[in-house]
Amino acid sequence: MKKERNSSNTLSPYMNSVHTWGRIWSVGALLALLSVPTFICVKLGVWPEGAMVMKALAKVIPIYWGTAVVEVITYTPMLGAGGTYLGFVTGNITNLKLPCGLNAMENAGVKANSEEGEVISTISIGASAITTTVIIAAGVLLFAPFLGKLTDPQSVMAPAFTYILPALFGALGAGYFRKHWKISVFPILVGVAVLLFAPTLAVGTLIFVTIVAAIGGALVMLKLKLV
């Protein structure tokens, strides 16, 4: 008789390890970031005035702190614990880590809240971080002499750099919209409406709003038996 797999017993040690190392590396990354300005101030013997720091922070805290909370709430269910820790430590979640994790799980046919999805999301985001680092290093070394000419506003390549992010999300979203076009209409309309009234809204907040709209719209359509 085949022994059934106890997912709670098999996942618990792994998840404990994920949370332990995730907290360690998150705190370590935060300390590393704060150590740079601290060492500069110690070396030069110059410290900013507390009043000036608080005045500057007062302008950015409502935006960035709110976005940070929204991003954690939004990305964690989609990427899993391991992918979330790794994504926030390595950065560039919206542009690279999120599309990479979602695409890998879709190609593997697994869900984000499953054991398989947890592992695949973490591996794919780790591979993305390594690949990004290698490509950036190669680009700095090989393209430094030509980068100024390529990114110059007068360059023929300038429009391509402007549309990199829309092209990335357009290619990723097209597959989902095609498969689930009925439940895609409402969140797209909500996103467009939000941008019309608040065009400078942070990307993380907009993603959270459209996710809530997608879930709410899908539930309503499910009750009305439209999907």
Instruction: Give which of 86, 84, 82, 144 is closest to 115, Cα–Cα.
Output: 82
Give the C-alpha separation, 205 to 65, whole Å. Answer: 11
pLDDT by residue (tens digit) across 159-213? 787 787 778 777 777 777 887 788 888 988 998 999 898 888 877 678 778 888 8
pLDDT of residue 95: 76
pTM attached to this predicted model: 0.64
